[in-house]
Structure 1
Amino acid sequence: MHVLVLGGGVVGVTSAWYLARAGHQVTVVDRQPGAGLETSFANAGQVSPGYSAPWAAPGIPVKALKWLMMRHRPLVLWPSLEPRLYGWLARMLANCTEEAYTRNKGRMVRLAEYSRDALRDLRAETGIAYDHREQGTLQLFRTQKQLDHVPDDTRVLDAYGVPYAVLDPAGCIAAEPALARVSGTFVGGLRLPGDETGDAHLFTQRLAALCEAQGVSFRYGTTVAGLRHEGGAVTGVVTGSGAVLSADAYVAAMGSYTPALLRPLGIDLPVYPVKGYSLTLPVTNPEAAPVSTVMDETYKVAITRLGDRIRVGGTAELAGFSQVLRPPRRETLARSLGDLFPAGGDLDQARFWTGLRPMTPDGTPIVGPTSLANLYTNTGHGTLGWTMACGSGRLLADLVSRRAPEIAADDLALGRYRRAA
């Protein structure tokens, strides 16, 4: 079967890899000149199944109001007349219950754990290298109140058998020795030893090369203008040049741009762009830099070691499709790094970047079939596209191939929103 994958980020390329391994003829279409050049380009670098949790949670509405008042706020909301934003926010608020949080986190951990295992299998099979480390994630708490809420997350980790350790300050320093330099900054942490780190952009580019060796065709510099459909199925992809590309099946993996593509087909995809920022800077003192990933719970910032670089990522900015680099967001990232690893890297050489994360109201990506017989989605991963990419790609390939997936998948598809309605 010929499958067209629309989108050449980490999710699209992993989808192509597993589809090709399943025996399909695969073509990837992307507007960029290469793979992984948008949201996958400079994300926080975490592969964090243990940290997979929906933003919609009990108490979040009150916390969000407080965050909006902070100088170095993790959440930014720009005034907008866009109805889709407020509809998406309403759906997110509806998921801020204990029952919804437990259900959504369970879905996310299930897919993320599966994805981490799929990534390990892929690495063993291909030898792919991407500055990866397998030294866990440390969620760092600056206040006792933050530490007191740890049981809210560990209940789901217990249910899925995800290993973790609640650490005192000494335990945090044992995991991340450079924190000894700022020992008065934090009161404890939650360590997730099964988490990994790696450069998603490097991974995507190298996996794209492996895909080509498997016969996958990449059509870079090709804009997807729309989809043709007839008789309950997609019949072709209209490109920006007016050409029509045809296949037997189609996978929409265009991140935040997927809803606009599917809306003319009568498919309402509840995905909204949540803007994130990052800094990438050279390590100047390895002993003062992080070993793996440290999550600063106060500012919701991840600080990750990627080879001889440090990646600092965070902020949730609701600003539509704007990709303006805003200096206050840089200041927040720099503040978190300066508090925790002040001598680890050279901020003067930092590269400032922004990308649009495709976020669903319940935090779970939308992977699976749609109301059109040969159209599938693989999008809505939010901040966890890198974490969930391999699992989503393998799952998607099973669904397209009409094989039984290795994990429960029905509640990951778009149909869950129809059932909820």
Structure 2
Amino acid sequence: MRVIVLGAGLLGVTSAYYLQKLGHEVTVVDRQATPAAETSFANGGQISVSHAEPWANPSAPMKVLQWLGKEDAPLLFRIRADMRQWLWGLQFLRECTPARTRHNIEQIVRLGTYSRSMLQALRSDTGIGYDQRTQGILHFYTTQKEFDGALKPAEQMRALGCERLVISADEAVKLEPALAHIRPQLAGATYTAEDESGDANRFARELVKLCEASGVKFLMSHTVTAIREAGGKVEHVEATDIEGRFQRLQADAYVMAMGSLSPIYAKPLGIELPIYPAKGYSVTLPVKDASKAYQVSLTDDEFKLVFSRYTSDDGRGDRMRIAGTAELNGYDRDLNRIRCEAIVRRVEQLFPGAGDTTRAQFWTGLRPATPSNVPMIGKTKLPNFFLNTGHGTLGWTHACGSGKSIAHIVSGLAPEVDFAFQR
């Protein structure tokens, strides 16, 4: 079949890769000049099956209320006259029950475990490099309340096959000596040895090269202006190139992997997607003192931050990537200096002198968040129109598993993972 993939981020590129592996003729369309230039550009870098507890959990409503109006809050609802934001917020609250949280963790862990295995297989098959590290992910807690709250979700994850082990503060420092500076503040930690980290943007760019070598066509700097329906299915896609020239693109099947823009393009087709942009931030710091910088990828659950380390062979040097927080403020992409500086301040508290803060690079991107944190993958009411979107903070973790699964679904095959796919 001829398949058009809308979007050249992580989900679009992995979809294209697995579709061509199944013998399809694939074209990818994206408005940016290069792949993975938006949400996938400077994310946290973690392949974190262990990061499966959704934002919507029983403790979230009280935290959100406490954080309202605080510019440096880890999760900030910036209240707007925006009906979509209010509806999303109500759905978010419905997902905060213990039963819904358990269900959502189950879905996120199943997809994450499968996806991590698919990434490892792809790396083995192709030799692709992306500053990967396979030293696991360490979640650390600086308050007893946060640590105690992590124990039950970690137990559920272990029951689902994600070996998120509860360890002491001393064991955490043994695993990551850079935490010794804050040893008196550590209440405890969890560790998942199978989790990984790596540069998601570099992965996407390298995978595009492999796709192109296999015949996948990439139409970059092409802005989709409309998806047209006729006879109960998608008939074509309309787009303009960088010079404003109109193009009409036709295929047998279409995969939407447009991130936070997905609901805008799906709505004219009568498809309502509960996806809202959650603006995340990242800071990239050159390593100034390697003896003080972490080696293991870390998660600071209290401040909703993740830490990865990249040691590149492409001239970009040794650097630290710190990412996280979420701001629900529509499609606003402005960098909030207060939120950026809060991340740098936390890094200096944890690892003073490790990074060169005078050369900090700040970035913000819009994550496509569903209220449950469970992505939308599968069929729609239009038989030739498919979804691979809504991955929120876990697009990198779920990319390969989602891409392979949607390729199977488009091909009329059963996915290999037990997950609540769109039917």
Question: TM tier, shorter chain?
Answer: over 0.9
Q: How far apart are residue 76 of structure 1 and its match?
A: 1.8
Q: Could you tell me which residue of structure 2 aligns to residue 245 of structure 1?
A: 249
- The amino acid of 2:65's aligned partner reads L
Q: Could you tell me which residue of structure 2 aligns to residue 145 of structure 1?
A: 145
User: Are the equivalent residues in 2 in contact too, given 1:296–1:336 (CA < 8 A)?
Assistant: no
Secondary structure of the 2:387 match is strand
The answer on 1:52 being equivalent to 2:62 is no
Partners of 1:161 and 1:227 in 2: how far apart? 40
User: Are the equivalent residues in 2 in contact too, given 1:366–1:378 (CA < 8 A)?
Assistant: yes
Q: Could you tell me which residue of structure 1 aligns to residue 196 of structure 2?
A: 196
Q: How far apart are residue 181 of structure 1 and its match?
A: 2.3
Q: Could you tell me which residue of structure 1 aligns to residue 268 of structure 2?
A: 264
User: Are the equivalent residues in 1 in contact too, given 2:237–2:250 (CA < 8 A)?
Assistant: yes
Q: How far apart are residue 69 of structure 1 and its match?
A: 5.9
Q: How far apart are residue 208 of structure 1 and its match?
A: 0.4
| TM-score with structure 2 setting the length | 0.96
Q: C-alpha deviations, 1:292-311, integer Å up to 9, x for none?
A: 22111221111211221100
The residue correspondences of 1:18-57 to structure 2 (distance < 5 A) are 18-57=18-57
The answer on 1:287 being equivalent to 2:287 is no
Answer with 60-69 or 236-245: which moved more.
60-69
Partners of 1:20 and 1:156 in 2: how far apart? 36
- The amino acid of 1:265's aligned partner reads L
- The amino acid of 2:369's aligned partner reads M
User: Are the equivalent residues in 2 in contact too, given 1:41–1:200 (CA < 8 A)?
Assistant: yes
The residue correspondences of 1:193-232 to structure 2 (distance < 5 A) are 193-232=193-232
- The amino acid of 1:282's aligned partner reads P
5+ residue gaps, structure 2, are 312-317
Partners of 2:369 and 2:350 in 1: how far apart? 28
Partners of 1:173 and 1:86 in 2: how far apart? 42
Partners of 2:195 and 2:116 in 1: how far apart? 8
Answer with 127-136 or 293-302: which moved more.
293-302
Q: Could you tell me which residue of structure 1 aligns to residue 331 of structure 2?
A: 321
Q: How far apart are residue 89 of structure 1 and its match?
A: 0.5
Q: Could you tell me which residue of structure 2 aligns to residue 130 of structure 1?
A: 130
Answer with 140-149 or 355-364: which moved more.
140-149
Partners of 2:16 and 2:84 in 1: how far apart? 30
Q: C-alpha deviations, 1:140-198, integer Å up to 9, x for none?
A: 11111111112221232122121122122211111111111232232211111111000
Corresponding residue to 1:338 among 348, 353, 360? 348
Answer with 364-373 or 181-190: which moved more.
181-190
Q: Could you tell me which residue of structure 1 aligns to residue 155 of structure 2?
A: 155
5+ residue gaps, structure 1, are 416-421
The answer on 1:355 being equivalent to 2:359 is no
- The amino acid of 1:383's aligned partner reads T
Q: Could you tell me which residue of structure 2 aligns to residue 172 of structure 1?
A: 172
Partners of 1:222 and 1:122 in 2: how far apart? 28
User: Are the equivalent residues in 1 in contact too, given 2:151–2:166 (CA < 8 A)?
Assistant: no
Q: CA RMSD in A?
A: 1.2
User: Are the equivalent residues in 1 in contact too, given 2:64–2:76 (CA < 8 A)?
Assistant: no
- The amino acid of 1:14's aligned partner reads T
User: Are the equivalent residues in 2 in contact too, given 1:50–1:194 (CA < 8 A)?
Assistant: no
Answer with 165-174 or 211-220: which moved more.
165-174
The answer on 1:383 being equivalent to 2:387 is no
Partners of 1:322 and 1:95 in 2: how far apart? 25
User: Are the equivalent residues in 1 in contact too, given 2:154–2:165 (CA < 8 A)?
Assistant: no
Answer with 320-329 or 338-347: which moved more.
338-347
- The amino acid of 1:116's aligned partner reads R
Secondary structure of the 2:254 match is strand
Corresponding residue to 1:368 among 378, 388, 395? 378
Q: How far apart are residue 70 of structure 1 and its match?
A: 5.2
Secondary structure of the 1:243 match is strand
Q: C-alpha deviations, 1:200-252, integer Å up to 9, x for none?
A: 00000000010000100000000001111112110100113432100000000
4+ aligned runs moved over 4 Å, structure 1: none
Q: Could you tell me which residue of structure 2 aligns to residue 412 of structure 1?
A: 421
Q: Give % identity.
A: 45
The answer on 1:72 being equivalent to 2:72 is yes
Partners of 1:18 and 1:371 in 2: how far apart? 23
Secondary structure of the 1:289 match is coil
User: Are the equivalent residues in 1 in contact too, given 2:70–2:76 (CA < 8 A)?
Assistant: no
User: Are the equivalent residues in 2 in contact too, given 1:299–1:332 (CA < 8 A)?
Assistant: no
Q: How far apart are residue 315 of structure 1 and its match?
A: 1.2
With over 3 angstroms needed to count, the CA separation of the structure-2 counterparts of 1:3 and 1:287, relative to structure 1, is same
User: Are the equivalent residues in 2 in contact too, given 1:53–1:109 (CA < 8 A)?
Assistant: no
The answer on 1:303 being equivalent to 2:274 is no
Q: Could you tell me which residue of structure 2 aligns to residue 120 of structure 1?
A: 120
- The amino acid of 1:290's aligned partner reads Y
User: Are the equivalent residues in 2 in contact too, given 1:302–1:312 (CA < 8 A)?
Assistant: yes
User: Are the equivalent residues in 2 in contact too, given 1:364–1:412 (CA < 8 A)?
Assistant: no
User: Are the equivalent residues in 1 in contact too, given 2:275–2:390 (CA < 8 A)?
Assistant: yes
Q: How far apart are residue 286 of structure 1 and its match?
A: 1.6
Partners of 1:194 and 1:316 in 2: how far apart? 26
Secondary structure of the 1:38 match is coil
- The amino acid of 2:345's aligned partner reads R
User: Are the equivalent residues in 2 in contact too, given 1:45–1:306 (CA < 8 A)?
Assistant: no
